[in-house]
Amino acid sequence: MADVDDFFRLREYDSLMREVDRLRQGIAQESERLSRRKSELSDRIELLNSRESQFRQFNHQIAELDRRLAQHLSPEAQSKLEEEGLKLLAEQEEISQLISEDQVFIQGYSKTVQELESEILAEIQSSEALIAQTLKRAESVYATLPTEWHAQYQRILAKKPAHGVFSRIENLKCQFCRYTISKVLESEVDVGLQLKGCPGCGRLLLPYKTVAG
């Protein structure tokens, strides 16, 4: 027969596993944060590349214009080309300005991302160590539980009930879903110390002795 300590250990196991979940979520969030920053950086590098290629295109266009200006042209044609040339130079100057801004941004941001990466990798490493340690502890607690409880616990856990897998009986109702609990079930839980699920929500009903106080 199970005793009160089994219930304490079941709760301990459950809270250890929730801690593992929390740590894993933390790792996923941090990895996501890092990859967002990295993709911002690579977007900006891509933008810089496309501006540099625009800049080179302007060079070609200006060189082509100069070639045409060197030919014998009518004064109107010549002034029209000169006007076009000035326009091209102004546009190229604008691009050049943007390129310098990109370069300054990329330089600073690369450094930021690098620092963030080493920070996050260190955090992940320590979380992973903590996960391994917590799992080891959880495993040893799990092994001491009545074996028939294992499947029962896993079944309710798989449903991922909001606010956890446990409930308690309060005035012959499930504290969580308010389902009416029979006196027979109440005594199986409180006196018999059996692990039973609430017929309403399936959460495991903790005996009075393990939750009082």
The site for Zn ion (CB under 5 A) is made up of 174, 176-177, 179, 198, 200-201
CB 208 to Zn ion: min, Å: 16
End-to-end Cα separation, the chain, in angstroms: 24
When the beta carbons of 66 and 170 are compared against Zn ion, the nearer one is: 170
When the beta carbons of 96 and 152 are compared against Zn ion, the nearer one is: 152
Q: Cα 197 to chain center, whole Å?
A: 33
Q: How far apart are CA 71 and CA 75, in angstroms?
A: 12
**Token pair in block for residue 6:** 């089994």
CB 173 to Zn ion: min, Å: 8
**Token pair in block for residue 195:** 């692990």
The candidate with the shortest Cα–Cα distance to 138, out of 3, 6, 18, 4, is 18
CB 178 to Zn ion: min, Å: 7
CB 190 within 8 Å of CB 178: no
CB 197 to Zn ion: min, Å: 8
When the beta carbons of 37 and 173 are compared against Zn ion, the nearer one is: 173
When the beta carbons of 120 and 197 are compared against Zn ion, the nearer one is: 197
